[in-house]
Amino acid sequence: MADDRRPPLFGPGEPVAVLGLGVSGTAAARLLHALGANVYASDAFEGPRQREAVAALAAEGIDAEVGRHDVERILNADLVVTSPGISPTAEIRRTVAEAGVPTVAEIEVAYRHLRSRVIGITGTNGKTTTTALCGHLLQQAGVDALTAGNIGRPLSEIPLMKRQPDWLVVELSSFQLADLQAFRPEVGVLVNLAADHLDWYPSLERYYEDKARLFANADEDSRWVLNGDDDAVLAMAEPAAGRRYLASIEPQEEPGAWLDEAGTMVQRLEAGGAPQPWIAAADLQLVGAHNVMNALLAGLGAALAGCEAAAIEAGLASFQGLPHRLQRVGEFKNVLWINDSKGTNVSATRVALNAFDRPLVALLGGRHKGESYRSLAPALSENARALIAFGEAAPQIVRELGDVAPVEVARGFPQLVRLAREAAQPGDVVLFSPACSSYDMFPDYRKRGRTFERCVRESYEGGASGRAT
């Protein structure tokens, strides 16, 4: 299944260790076992999901354990495969690196055994929406395509399919990019760049270094779709070989996609060619100017995979967005409630705040990720009626933003919703965009978002005006 540019990572029967038993690590263990490796998988954390993974792998004849890493066995492996949930600064990662054991990401293992062509998408914010939308456009155009990677389906599941799709749209986090070697997408998309994961990375530069690995194996056949309005994106991609296509909110001469003067999204893949229209930006079912950019990027990715402009137009019109990303919970008593639980960093929340031009009540909090909240002050001062902080980060949020808007602190989500109801006035938006991770209270942003939605609906039971959507 591998070609000359994707040499095997190990031989039959050779020992391979997998670090982490989340969905990606578990899928990698299965793939490695199917490929003939002698697999040992482990996770230092022992929770219900990890124990279920161990039981499932054991039933398939794969050795796995939780609650510890057998360091001696890992260091004796010929290859270590890392899951994206293992911090780059974790002790076991340092131990493996110091011992010089070859290490690759789960994505790399899967890529070596793919027959599908790949659109690889990364960035700080919006990459999941862009990945889902690009996959939707391909599928609506009749292209045999699936989404995989950080969006949910582990890439390691694809080589085990009886028939792989023609195209894969793969979302790539910085953690998945960190340990790549041969990975080279046919089309690479860089959505944007901003500070994130500073609780895991020692500096912004190190975070950007991992993002830049998208371009590590660029050649003259590579095609790059870039946010042309983001200087950091253009600077990162500038040294990469291959052709580039820019997405911009402003009209441009370079090949790419943009908004014309009438507000219509258009594409032009060849310099000097006539622009081909897609759809008016106002007709997208997505909230915010940032989602116009996401749509331009996704559309370009689909166009480079062979989709006609008319098919892209139809797909853009039918895409309804993803849960927990500026998702409409409902409008109750003329107050619009928005779930943006995926707003897990400051830059994502800043984008969410700027998506609305009416007064709002902002709900911020969770586990701090290392970045100051002060950069939210300009957006909050424009239209925030009130700010309600919650979770571990609440004291820091109050310190940094207490002079921008009236602030209260909630202890628990029922109180968070009650305080928001009391602060909001008819015509307002209540925006739940935490700017923090969920890990102080929830296993992931999805559970946090669902809890917020449930609390909102329960709060209005028996007295709702309008409807939840």
Tell me which CATH homologous superfamily contains domain 109-318: Mur-like, catalytic domain (3.40.1190.10)
Q: Where are the domains of the chain?
A: 15-101, 109-318, 327-460
Q: How far apart are the first and last CA of the chain?
A: 45
Burial of 116 (0-12, 13-18, 19+ CB in 10 A): buried
Give Cβ neighbours of residue 309 (< 8 Å, ≥ 6 apart). Answer: 267, 276, 277, 278, 303
Give me the CATH topology for the region 327-460.
Protein-Tyrosine Phosphatase; Chain A (3.90.190)
Q: Considering all CA atoms of the chain, what is the largest pairwise distance in Å, rounded to the nearest integer?
A: 66
Cα 440 to the chain's mean position, in Å? 20
> The tokens of 421 are what?
């109801």
Instruction: Give the Cα separation of 223 and 240 in Å (integer).
Output: 10
pLDDT in tens, 302-347: 999 999 999 999 999 999 988 999 999 999 999 999 999 999 999 9
Task: List pLDDT tens digits, range 173-217.
Answer: 999 999 999 999 999 999 999 988 878 888 999 999 999 999 999
Render pLDDT for 96-140 as a digit per residue (tens, 0 to 9): 999 999 999 999 999 999 999 999 999 999 999 999 999 999 999
pLDDT tens per residue across span 444-465: 999 999 999 999 999 998 544 4
Q: Residue 307: what pLDDT?
A: 98
CB 122 within 8 A of CB 191: yes
- According to the model, what pLDDT value does residue 465 have? 42
**CA gap 155, 149 in Å, rounded:** 5
Identify whether the C-beta of residue 157 lies closer than 8 Å to the C-beta of residue 148: yes
Q: What is the pLDDT of residue 468?
A: 42
Q: Do domains 15-101 and 327-460 have the same CATH topology?
A: no
Q: Is the pLDDT of residue 50 over 60?
A: yes
Residue 288: pLDDT band by 50, 70, 90 thresholds? confident
Q: Burial, 59: exposed, middle or buried (Cβ in 10 Å; 0-12, 13-18, 19+)?
A: exposed
Average pLDDT over residues 53-67: 97
CATH classification of 15-101, choosing from 3.40.50.720, 3.40.50.10800, 1.20.1540.10, 1.10.150.570? Answer: 3.40.50.720
Averaged pLDDT for residues 281-300: 94
